[in-house]
Amino acid sequence: MQDRVLVADDDRAIRESLARALELEGYAVETVADGAGALTRARREVWDAMIVDVMMPGIDGLGVCRMLRADGDRTPVLMLTARVETSERVAGLDAGADDYLPKPFEPEELFARLRALLRRTRPGSGGQGESAVLRVADLRIDVAARRAWWADAELSLSKTEFDLLELLSGNAGAVLDQPTVYQLIWGYDFGADSKNLAVYIGYLRRKLTAAGAPALIHTVRGVGYSLRTP
What predicted TM-score, i.e. pTM, was given to this entire model? 0.59
Partner residues linked to 139 by β-bridges? 136, 150
Helix (H) or strand (E) run with residue 28 in it: strand 28-32
Residue 132 CB-density burial (10 A; 0-12 exposed, 13-18 middle, 19+ buried): middle
Q: Are residues 96 and 170 in the same domain?
A: no
Q: How far apart are CA 1 and CA 56, in angstroms?
A: 31
Residue range 108-159, pLDDT digits in tens: 889 988 888 887 766 544 443 344 688 899 999 988 788 999 999 999 998 8
Q: Are residues 85 and 140 in the same domain?
A: no
Residue range 8-46, pLDDT digits in tens: 999 999 999 999 999 999 999 999 999 999 999 999 998
Q: Are residues 27 and 99 in the same domain?
A: yes
Q: Are residues 91 and 154 in the same domain?
A: no
**Structural domain containing residue 54:** 4-121
Q: What is the CATH number of the domain that holds 202?
A: 1.10.10.10
Structure confidence at residue 30 (pLDDT): 95
Last residue of a domain, one of 88, 121, 154: 121
